[in-house]
Amino acid sequence: MPSRNRWQRHRTSLFAVVLGAVAAVALFDLLVRDGFTVGTWRATPLDWLFIAAHVPLLFYVVIPLVADREQARTLWARFRARPEAVVGLCWLAAVYLLGTVGIVLAPDLKLTFLHANQPPVFATIDATHVPQCAGRVVEGQCHGSWQYPLGTDLNGYRLELLLLQGLHITLYVSVISLAFIVPIALVVGVVAGYQGGLVDVVSIRSVEVQDAVPPLIVYLLVIFITGESLLVILLLFGFLGWGGAARIVRSETRRLRDAEFVEAARALGGSDRHILGTHVVPAVSGVTIPTATRQVPILLLTEAGLAFLGLEAFDLQSFGNVIARGTVRGEVPLLVKWWVSGFAVATLAATVVAFKVVGDALVESLDPRMN
């Protein structure tokens, strides 16, 4: 218990030091070194944002659960009561591994126009629709081969590599957006709910103004200045997407502010800082994270929609870009090359559903009012 208390006292300081160190290394790499970060990997601002987003996840989610194993077992017992949530969690774990480790180990995408529109290993296509069949040609039908187990698109890109790239972008969208949404919603909601009065009024009005201006509309205006950019999308999602979570945090904070244990702490001489840090913030944190997680499916679908419409950088192999290439009208009809869009749609849909069911299960597991 004493070691746990010491950790809680110094956690904020350690968090600030680690986050500052990551920021310093990122600035040195991007502004001074301007070269390959490790080996042949050249880190972009998005890569460094993704790395920095793991710092709050480590300090405020992973380490507390490891330190308090009894709480972790209790939460897991509540969570596994929903089998669909366990399946969704396993899928998201696979998405994380494939989007990080898998993308590093996978070979680079290569244009192979001669092998464009190759079918999956279990399917066939009319041989006249492919420049050169990589598999067997039987009675005018090009059969799929293990060289391209999931087939290729119109550029000859391997579908399994495109799916890995899509999962990589999906992971960036979800992790980086949550790294902005959770702390902003937590700070605004707690301050507004606890202070009340003018602070509460100003905060809630700012949320109403933000909700009236969707990030999508702002992005369509900003791209005329910055150009299509996934970084701009994520920044807008993060800075303009926390309103709904902040409302729930504010409501929960107002309930806790008048709770008996908070009144008792105040009567014993506890300062506002002590009450917030010891009682209020830990309690509402369990509401903030699952509430923000529920917004991830909307963000993923919005990003995919922008990419599908060509409003994202063309060199990013987002699921939206892959689906768009699969629906291009050309010499090969859409239903003939179904695998190009089909696999991308199925993977995106599975990821969106997984976030939805996991978010719902987290609400039930972490919200004290439901337990």
pLDDT per residue rounded down to tens, the chain (371 residues): 445 555 566 777 888 899 999 999 888 888 887 666 776 677 888 899 999 999 988 887 788 777 778 878 888 888 888 889 999 999 999 999 999 999 988 888 888 888 988 999 999 998 888 999 999 999 899 999 999 999 998 889 999 999 999 999 999 999 998 888 888 888 888 888 888 888 888 888 888 877 777 777 888 888 888 777 888 888 888 888 888 888 888 888 888 887 777 778 777 777 777 777 777 887 787 778 887 888 888 889 988 988 888 887 777 889 999 998 888 766 666 677 889 899 999 999 999 999 999 988 887 777 655 54
Q: Note the pTM of the prediction, 2 decimals.
A: 0.88
- The residue ranges of every structural domain in the chain are 1-79, 105-109+158-371
CATH of 105-109+158-371, one of 2.170.120.20, 3.40.50.1100, 1.10.3720.10, 2.10.240.10: 1.10.3720.10
Angle at 138 between CA 325 and CA 129, to 5 degrees: 25
Reference 306, options 290, 323, 294; nearest CA is 323
Angle at 203 between CA 202 and CA 208, to 5 degrees: 95
> Token pair 């898998």 is at which residue?
102
For residue 350, which amino acid is it? A
How many angstroms separate the CA atoms of 126 and 141, rounded?
5
Angle at 31 between CA 22 and CA 314, to 5 degrees: 90
Q: Which residues contact 303 (CB under 8 A, 6 or more apart)?
A: 169, 173, 230, 233, 237, 312, 318, 320
Q: Look at residue 94 in the predicted model and tell me its pLDDT.
A: 95
Backbone angles phi, psi at 7, to 5 degrees: -60, -45
For residue 53, which amino acid is it? A
Dihedral class, residue 126 (left if φ above 0, else alpha if ψ from -120 to 50, else beta): beta
Backbone angles phi, psi at 20, to 5 degrees: -65, -40
Q: For residue 319, give the H/E element and its range.
A: helix 319-326
71, with CB counted inside 10 A (0-12, 13-18, 19+), is exposed
Q: Look at residue 197 in the predicted model and tell me its pLDDT.
A: 81
Q: How far apart are the first and last CA of the chain?
A: 25
The tokens of 230 are what? 């996934």
Is residue 52 within 8 Å of residue 23, measured between CB atoms?
Answer: yes
Backbone angles phi, psi at 126, to 5 degrees: -60, 130
Helix residue ranges, H only, 58-155: 63-67, 69-79, 83-97, 103-105
For residue 267, which amino acid is it? A
